Amino acid sequence: MGRRTPGRYDWDQSSYCQRWQLHIVLSRLMLKGFGYEGVLALLTGSAYIVWYSRALGAIICENCGLWVGGKVGLMTEPELVEVIIS
């Protein structure tokens, strides 16, 4: 998908918006594509969802869980997310 950075992206002059739309469509399939909850619901609260988010570019510290309550959220800009516990 490419690294996302804060800034202005014109729809007709940059491929960013098209790549963002593709990411949204694929994320929706992961969230609701297979049954009621989707594939990612099986991974909530585990190390696997953290690994998946890190693979998308999120910065997540050690000993941190994502969506431990069982409800998955849509992370549209994973490269801009930092979860750091001090």
The pair phi, psi for residue 69, each rounded to 5°, is -80, -10
CA distance 32 to 40: 9
**Inside any domain, residue 5:** no
**Inside any domain, residue 44:** yes
Is the pTM here over 0.95, yes or no? no
**Inside any domain, residue 54:** yes
- The count of structural domains within the chain is 1
Structure confidence by residue, pLDDT tens digits, 17-27: 777 778 778 77
**Inside any domain, residue 8:** no
List the structure tokens of 5.
Answer: 């950075």
CA distance 28 to 30: 5
37 vs 85: which has the higher pLDDT = 85
Query: Per-residue confidence at 46, pLDDT binned at 50, 70, 90?
Result: confident
CA distance 45 to 42: 9
Mean pLDDT of 48-73: 85
Mean pLDDT of 73-84: 81
Q: For residue 31, what are the domain limits? A: 16-83
Cβ atoms of 1 and 48 closer than 8 Å: no
**Inside any domain, residue 7:** no
